[in-house]
Amino acid sequence: MPHARGMDASGVRRAAEGDAEAVAAIYNQGIEDRVATLETELRTPAERRAWLAARGERHPVLVAERDGQVVAWASLNPFNPRAAYDHVADLSIYVERSWRGRGVGRVLLARIIEEARRIGFHKMVLAAFPTNDAGMRLYEAMGFTRVGIYREQGRLDGRWVDVIVMEQLLS
């Protein structure tokens, strides 16, 4: 069974075009598992390649690697297209199934928080399922606080799903 022991920030790097297949596969696991996103349509490597190519310097995608294999990814996304929100980044983070609960998410999340500060973001926000216990523990341990809940925010598999909103002030 794989372990993140020994993984530190040196195992995290900017995503490259060649990571598109792994990023798509990991994202698709999150979609299929219904634990992390209201997205329901699986992604292709070609779509993720285009997504990666369209990212600007302010909205990077980072990957965590172990033994040359991408095992997780995180991105800073625009929160809102209005200029007043330019200093707020929306966070996405996904960990490959067999690596969940092994510390990879913590290492990657710490690194992307550092990157957000370096870029000059004032705040990071995220939306999470309250049923994602491991994710909620990680976000809270890494300094995110709950600021609200969207009740019945979306429908997955014929049922309404609540979404918790969290934030972290960076400066």
Tokens of 55: 């990212």
Examine residue 170 and state whether it is found in any structural domain, yes or no: no
pLDDT at 171: 87
Is 157 part of a structural domain of the chain? no
* Cβ neighbours of 157 (radius 10 Å): 7
- 47-78: pLDDT as tens digits: 999 999 999 999 999 999 999 999 999 999 99
Residue 48's CATH number: 3.40.630.30
> Could you tell me if 90 and 76 are in contact, meaning their C-beta atoms sit under 8 angstroms apart?
yes
Query: Is residue 138 in some structural domain?
Result: no
- Does residue 146 fall inside a structural domain? no
* Full domain range(s) for residue 57: 9-122
User: How far is residue 109's CA from residue 92's CA, in Å, rounded to a whole number?
Assistant: 10
Closest by Cα among 54, 125, 134 to 85: 125
Torsion sign across C-alpha atoms 44, 65, 108, 2? positive
How many structural domains does the chain have? 1
| Residue 80 included in any domain | yes
The answer to whether position 129 is within a domain reads no
Contact criterion met (CB below 8 Å) for 70 and 23: yes
- Is residue 158, in this structure, part of any structural domain at all? no
Among the listed residues 54, 40, 51, the one whose alpha carbon sits nearest the alpha carbon of residue 73: 51
Q: Is residue 148 part of a domain?
A: no
Does 163 score more than 80 pLDDT?
yes
Reported as a single tens digit per residue, the pLDDT across 1-10 is: 344 554 556 6
Helix (H) or strand (E) holding 109: helix 104-119
